[in-house]
Structure 1
Amino acid sequence: MKILDHLEEWLITFLMGAATTIIFFSVAHRYLSGMSIPGLQDWLLGLNFGWAQELCIIMFVWMAKFGAAYGVRTGIHVGVDVLINRMTGRTRAKFVVFGLLAGALFTGIVGTLGANFVWENGFHY
């Protein structure tokens, strides 16, 4: 069970490190291939780093997903509840329910727009 307790941490660490390394090499490739150093420039121009940005975007999305899950599981997820914690009883409960419903509405809107985008994009490509 110890491995599963730290799996999210390891995944987040790996994704951050890998994305940083890929972007570093991509930027270095971009600038070094512009230098007119015989042999090196020809070799660098033969390399293709066109995939680096897309891969890092995908890695960032997965970092955010695992990070949010880790934050919720450990109780360190970002939340602004100073005002809510000062309320008492039924007033607090109403605001908590409102916040949950607003979050569900936002998720539904984003999910619907995303599904519509994927559906429409699938008919054209």
Structure 2
Amino acid sequence: MNTLRLIWDRFEEAFIVFLLSAMTLVTFVYVILNNVYSFFYSLADYFAEHSEGVSEFFFTIGDFFLDIVQTMTWSNALTKALFAWLIFVGLAYGVRIGGHIGVDALVKLASRSTQRVIAIFACLFSLGYAGLLSFASFEWINTLLTANIGADDLGQYGIKQWHIAMIVPIGFTLVFIRYLEILVRIIRHQQVDLGLADEAADAMKLSETEAAKE
């Protein structure tokens, strides 16, 4: 079981890295190509007064890159789709690493047993929320699947709207699983709270570290 969980954790991290890398690469290529054709047009204008043949050569190269840029209308749509997947995969990842901000200053004033009870109720509420949205989004996906409409600027490559939107129920299902893991750890007395981020505590630790360096 631990091996399976470790494999899934590593896959989750690798998939997030892949999404970030793909977004960066697509944007980088698009921006570079936009600047490349402008560069060759500038060279063509410069040589227009000196050599018409050289000028036409650079214009041809500029036209070539401009044609590529004009066919990359899909790049913006793809970046948006990748970002949507990143958000919903990141939701579950944030729960796992305690990346979401916890608003629990008053809760921490209570005893550990009280904190544990509150955490169980908060976890059950989170499970209900994630489960409800996961179920509702599956109904939405079923509607998109029936409509079978192509995604904006990506439909020409066979990508449908439901292909992109599928991450919504998947993402909330992953969030449900992560909160279920937290609930099990709380019940087993392996954890007291939801393990969310504490900005105030982090700021205090950073302040103490800087003071120690001085």
TM-score by length of 1: 0.64
Q: Residue in 1 aligned with 2:99?
A: 77
Q: Cα deviation per residue 1:22-42 (whole Å; 9 max; x = unaligned)?
A: 112224445766789222442
Take 2:135 and 2:122, find their aligned partners in 1: how far apart are those partners?
20
Within-5 A mapping of 1:107-118: 107-118=130-141
Instruction: Give the superposition deviation at 1:70.
Output: 7.3
Take 1:87 and 1:8, find their aligned partners in 2: how far apart are those partners?
35
- Work out whether residues 15 and 59 of structure 1, in 8 Å CA contact, stay in contact via their aligned partners in 2: yes
Take 1:98 and 1:46, find their aligned partners in 2: how far apart are those partners?
58
Question: Which residue of 9, 15, 20 maps to 2:19?
Answer: 15
Q: Which structure 2 residue ranges, 5 or more long, are not aligned?
A: 42-58, 149-214
Q: Which structure 1 residue ranges, 5 or more long, are not aligned?
A: none
- Work out whether residues 8 and 70 of structure 1, in 8 Å CA contact, stay in contact via their aligned partners in 2: no
Larger radius of gyration: 2
Query: CA, structure 1 residues 35+115, in 2 after alignment: closer, same or farther (shift >3 Å)?
Result: farther
Q: Cα deviation per residue 1:71-98 (whole Å; 9 max; x = unaligned)?
A: 72xx443241433322214532332122
Within-5 A mapping of 1:24-43: 24-29=28-33, 37=41, 38-43=59-64
- The answer to whether structure 1 residue 122 and structure 2 residue 145 are counterparts is yes
Q: Structure 2 counterpart of 1:69, which letter?
A: Y
Take 1:46 and 1:68, find their aligned partners in 2: how far apart are those partners?
40
Query: CA, structure 1 residues 33+98, in 2 after alignment: closer, same or farther (shift >3 Å)?
Result: farther
Q: Residue in 1 aligned with 2:172?
A: none
Moved more, 109-118 or 86-95: 86-95
TM-score by length of 2: 0.43
Q: Cα deviation per residue 1:46-66 (whole Å; 9 max; x = unaligned)?
A: 222233234333433454426
Take 1:79 and 1:93, find their aligned partners in 2: how far apart are those partners?
18
Take 1:22 and 1:97, find their aligned partners in 2: how far apart are those partners?
43
Take 1:105 and 1:86, find their aligned partners in 2: how far apart are those partners?
26
Q: Residue in 2 aligned with 1:99?
A: 122
- RMSD over equivalenced CA pairs, Å: 3.6
